Structure 1
């Protein structure tokens, strides 16, 4: 980081760099040193005494406390006599504030007007706590201070270590650079409002009966909100608040006379320019409304109901605050270091990054002065190699400035943490400081003077002068305290926790362009638990659901949500039932894929099941015969059964065949279909359906059927999918269709064709098809599986085996950091992709759904959770 000049100006004295204050102290005692030399003390005593005095004076200017000279710090401890020390609902006062055994004591409180009348007018803004007012959307007025523009910024939902994050940060800095005024980035890390989350939950499940399941889920959502932290980002535009050198007018008494208060027109112009140009940089931003601004002010002395400051005391609202400021940047800066430190501190807090544009001429002047200092230091005995490297870096920056490759700016980073207990606030500050120190920052806790450290975190107020650093726009980009919070809509069902920042992740398929969902994950990755968690929480919105359950795992879930569970084998599936109420041609088109699977020629074996399909010419012939069959029965009341269709082929179709081959194919197809009208198969396929899709959740288990008729599982799946497709066409309202072990269908041409039709029809009718698979390779290696993954708006990719990682990355367009999160697999952790949002999430089923979703405990809890219980 070549351009890294802090606020403390130093001069080279021999091999040392001394601050100016040390030289001033030396100059003030130099007459006394000269007097010692003129006293003609014996030997070298005079010279020794004079040298000792000068060295002592120089060393007295060196010690620092909280980033300022020790003498200045001692003066700050008495600043309460001039600066306000309490603010009550916007009214500032002077008082002595002390912490006595954990209790804040205030004594001698009096109004500030009596003190400020003795202060020159130009310095009075330095001694005041500004009074805020929101005059219009996006505008904040500070008195004193002028108007500010306030924007709400949406952070990027990507990993801190990704190139995408750095590109976004660089785009933000370029964007604010077009506004050409001082900017403050504020990040508020706060607990979510448990009451708001609870109210949102109640609205979402308002039609659901009050059951233990509902109560447990509500408590889980509220508790998670209360125990986790969310990030809110603001951008404050402060026109006219600093000069061309990037130093704020109100940061020091010597510049206060230059201060100009921005008018509402100045702030409005900057605000409109920022909003207008944001889209060009792909920045999601909006003007803050009154509630947004009030939420931000509530955590600062400007808007808190009560704020108090004293020796080692800063109490705002109901919390003790500890403020840290950065006085030196690291030599090498990692992108996202600030927001990483904030999230790892796990504490309520605020981060403020002020960015002040600096005129290139001013930066060149500072750099030339730095070059002269380095040359002088080298001549005085400094390390020649180190001096030459620093000098070369400085020369390179000057050249970059001349070519416009570097945009100079001054930045100031201030952070705070807060807790209701003072000791815990300091513990959190130590964690935060330690993480920042690990990243190479030099930070210090600041407790004065007065409210100034806290005001550095307030919107539109200046930073502490000690924290100003001259650097470049690329450094400012790396220090942005911004991180996206995807899936933050509390009105959507809870899925789990965002792994990146620890915030709750809410997800609803109904908020996406289409409502289809793909969930894939290797065995043990948590696919079943994740799918059941999503299903239960969506069904609680009074949504119809149909589950095709090859492994018969959903019985407990269905009972818990008041649905039905059917086990195929004892229940019947009439393949021809979908023909009722439709035209003969449409009925033939719906039934044909089922009969093609039942009577088809062997095309291979997958998972121990034959893949069967009729040739195209046979399908064309069979379609015509089915049209005739349904036309003849168009006015018949009961639905046709399989033996009726077989009899039609045997009697009518056979008589119309023209060639020997046609007769042979008719005889073969009829014989193959007749198998489903005989023996135990007839109990499933040749009697009226006991399965129907209505508004009630229903699951159809296939495990026992598959164990008895493994080869006939694909026809059963085709019948189920066709029945669901028919229900969608009849307009059943919002519906979720869960196809577990979807790879068993995608690998079969005819069953896969029905699934493809179902997905297309679901989009048309506002329903959603959820395709689940733990055979990731079978799903992503078929054309249909890849197509379904590409056309589904939502995907949840859980832990994946290393052998298929590259294919999963390609099919789901995963980033490197997302692939690292799922391989090796961690149960319940996956990448959620939905529209423009994406995040690594940890699925959180909670105790109730976990008892239902875990197949090892199936049947234990459902009796307690059944709708209407409790």
Structure 2
């Protein structure tokens, strides 16, 4: 045993990163408080696929993987390959002359050698000397033995023969360090294709955007990777569609992650529209200069009969050629949500006639030049229905009474107060009665869609529907959300659907279709009652199932089709103060505000901080 003695403190010189002592044993090293053992790969599988070293790169313990590559001169490679072919062919002929059975390994080696020789002669590849070395770390000798056993089992499952660097443990450790020194020299000849497959192009991290593309966006930082300690940096606008779903139980950090993504998307110039059922985004909107619409408050209204009028750069106001027809169809959807059930066939017929008559009474006909006039109100539609001679129409008019003249009329009793403008639009639904929240969600989605579909103001946009279960409970609302998920990509927009009631999303075909049309899917901590549906829908493994049941706040799985990573959402202190909804933290922030500015207007502070 060779031991490097510890130097006295008075004589300590050199790099502060060097270990205090290194104890060398035949099969392992003790470096300070760590135990280290090294291995050289002596045997390899006959065929490999790209990323075949990924199991080593994702090893749960601390494992150093070192790949040493040395190119072989093409002339030398050709001569050596020629000699090797001669030996193999000679062996085959000798076996055939003596009537012996052919050796399968020799036959396979001969075929591979011929194929490699042909590719080298055509200039399709080169030969390299490659050495693959592994160094495993542990905190005790007992743990090192367990890690060695697990590592050798893993390499055996990959058809690799891992040999310990017996009596060369120090050289094995140095070889695995990032210094480019191969002091073991146990190499194998690889051609270009096999070597490229050995490169660590796959990892537990998400693939980066295409650096060669001029249109590649920079992406958004979601947090850090629980599997590799790297960063989870993802660009939704680089996917085949820009939609996202976020599913998690109450308290899992769902709204926190939504607000964090929205805030960081604003840095990139993405326009954000948020449907906020619990008034959680008010502080964020005020902090970044966004526009805040508290629906249900006095004087804040949305007229469902407004036509999608677009203002062109030259100042002219236009509308899509089928604007009147689409608005009529939207009114059908709205009334279905208001009434809590789908309309019957006869009800749809009389409603369609009444909508046409209502627009005609306001001077709006099939002539597109009339569409810029003041749109009628929902009360005008009710009046037309009530004056009809058809009993079904009068019945619809009476059912509309609470929403035009009764307790729920505040949202509809006048023209739209202000058009939604700004880089961040927040539609708060907290002040709406529970009976109107699904309809309020539908109306705000419609207002956002009119802005998104405006061809004269194309830019990347995100529409966030928090607590989407409010709308998914109604079949007509779920169908509107599904249509928006299907069409958003064509208008350079992405839909974010976040909900804690997983049953309402996964319990319907439309809800599953919304998930299927989301290229980015984030699963946070799940309730035991919903985990089985989540596992079936997303095809999770048993390990992923247990992770979602035990995940902490802000932890979850980000799935992008073939890639999945476990992440922890992180925010800076400034971001955290803007997006947290923890009552204890908000109370502490209120106390801090009082201490630093005793003369501050408490009402304005409550508007700024405590509305959350």
Secondary structure at the counterpart of residue 494 of structure 1 = strand
**Partner residue in 2 for 1:525:** 252
Cα shift at 1:814: 3.1
The 8 Å contact of residues 353 and 480 in structure 1, kept in 2 or not, is answered as no
Is 1:640 aligned to 2:376, yes or no? yes
Larger relative CO (CA 8 A, sep 6+): 1 or 2?
Answer: 2
> Equivalent residue for 1:351?
66
Q: Secondary structure at the match of 1:810?
A: helix
Equivalences for residues 300-699 of structure 1 within 5 A? 325-326=38-39, 338-339=56-57, 344-345=61-62, 351-352=66-67, 401=105, 412-414=131-133, 436-437=147-148, 439=150, 442=164, 454=175, 464-465=184-185, 483-484=202-203, 485-488=205-208, 491-570=218-297, 571-578=300-307, 580=309, 582=319, 586-598=323-335, 611-632=340-361, 633-634=363-364, 635=370, 637-651=373-387, 654=388, 663-699=390-426
State which of 553, 556, 559 in structure 2 corresponds to 1:830: 556
Shift of 1:785: 0.8
Counterpart for residue 366 of structure 1: none
Q: 1:324 to 1:827 in 2, by over 3 A?
A: same
CA contact (8 A) 2:222 2:232 kept: yes
Question: 1:103 is matched with which residue: 10, 14, 17?
Answer: 14
- Going from structure 1 to structure 2, the CA distance change for 1:519 and 1:361 (only over 3 Å counts) comes to farther
* Counterparts in 2 of 1:327 and 1:600: CA distance versus 1, 3 Å: closer
Secondary structure of the equivalent of 1:693?
coil
Query: Cα distance, 1:518 vs. partner?
Result: 0.6
The whole-number CA distance in structure 2 between the counterparts of 1:479 and 1:600 is 57
Aligned to 1:713: 437
CA deviation string 1:461-488 (max 9, x = no partner): 86614x5799xxxxx9999977513154
Match 2:448 to one of 710, 724, 727: 724
> Judging changes above 3 Å, is the alpha-carbon distance between structure 1 residues 429 and 437 closer, same or farther for their aligned structure 2 residues?
same
Contact 1:326–1:412, Cα closer than 8 Å, also in 2: no
How many residues align structurally?
A: 483
Q: How does 1:262-281 map to 2 (within 5 A)?
A: none
Contact 1:646 1:673 in 2 (8 A): yes
Task: Provide, for residues 532-570 of structure 1, a one-character-per-residue CA deviation record: whole Å limited to 9, x for no partner.
Answer: 111111122222211111122111222222212222111
Deviation track 1:553-596 (CA, whole Å, cap 9, x = no partner) reads 11122222221222211121211123555469523423544455
> Per the alignment, in what secondary structure is the counterpart of residue 232 of structure 2?
strand
Kindly provide the CA deviation profile for residues 313-344 of structure 1, in whole angstroms up to 9, marking residues without a partner as x.
Answer: xxxxxxxxx997426999xxx99674356x74
| Cα offset, 1:454, TM superposition | 5.0
C-alpha separation between the residues in 2 aligned to 1:504 and 1:414?
27
Matched, 1:844 2:570: yes
Give 1 or 2 for the bigger CA radius of gyration: 1
CA distance in 2, matches of 1:445, 1:853: 57
Give the distance between the partners of 1:637 and 1:479, measured in 2 at CA.
67
Whole-Å separation in 1 of the counterparts to 2:104 and 2:143: 34
Instruction: Report the Cα offset of residue 764 of structure 1.
Output: 1.4
* Unaligned segments of structure 2, at least 5 residues: 5-9, 23-34, 44-51, 73-79, 89-101, 114-128, 153-163, 190-194, 210-216, 310-317, 365-369, 594-604
Aligned ranges 1:684-833 → 2 under 5 Å: 684-705=411-432, 709-731=433-455, 732=457, 733-833=459-559
Contact 2:206 2:564 in 1 (8 A): yes
Question: In 2, are the aligned partners of 1:513 and 1:835 still within 8 Å (CA)?
Answer: no
**Cα pair distance change 1:444/1:437, threshold 3 Å:** farther
Residues 167-206 of structure 1: pairs in structure 2 closer than 5 A: none
In 2, Cα distance between equivalents of 1:771 and 1:445: 59
Are residues 524 and 745 of structure 1, via their aligned partners in 2, closer, same or farther at CA, if it must alter by over 3 Å?
Answer: same
Helix, strand or coil at the partner of 2:540: coil
Deviation digits for residues 384-403 of structure 1, max 9, x if unmatched? xxxxxxxxxxxxxx987468
Which deviates more, 579-588 or 350-359?
350-359
User: Which SS does the other structure have where 1:807 is aligned?
Assistant: helix
2:338 & 2:549 partners in 1: Cα distance?
A: 40
* Distance in 1, Cα, partners of 2:197 & 2:444: 54
Q: Which has the higher strand share?
A: 1
Q: Which residue of 2 is the match for residue 198 of structure 1?
A: none
Q: Which runs of 5+ in 1 are unaligned?
A: 1-63, 67-72, 74-98, 106-307, 313-321, 364-397, 418-425, 471-475, 603-610, 656-662
| Contact 2:175-2:183 within 8 A present in 1 as well | no
2:550 alignment partner, SS class: coil
Q: Give, in whole Å, the separation in 2 of the partners of 1:522 and 1:335.
A: 36
Give the direction of change, closer, same or farther, for the CA distance of 1:431–1:102 in structure 2 (3 Å limit): farther
C-alpha separation in 2, matches of 1:327 and 1:757: 57
Q: Is the 8 A contact 1:572 1:687 kept in 2?
A: yes
| Native 8 Å contact 2:243 2:495 kept in 1 | yes
Deviation at 1:824, TM superposition (A): 3.2
Contact kept, 8 Å, 1:584 with 1:627, in 2: the verdict is no
What is the alpha-carbon distance in structure 1 between the residues aligned to residue 437 and residue 67 of structure 2?
61
Distance 1:501 1:585, change over 3 A: closer
Contact 1:641 1:686 in 2 (8 A): yes
Aligned to 1:486, what secondary structure does the other structure show?
coil
Give the deviation of 1:739 after TM superposition: 0.5
What is the CA-CA distance between 1:637 and the residue it aligns to? 3.3
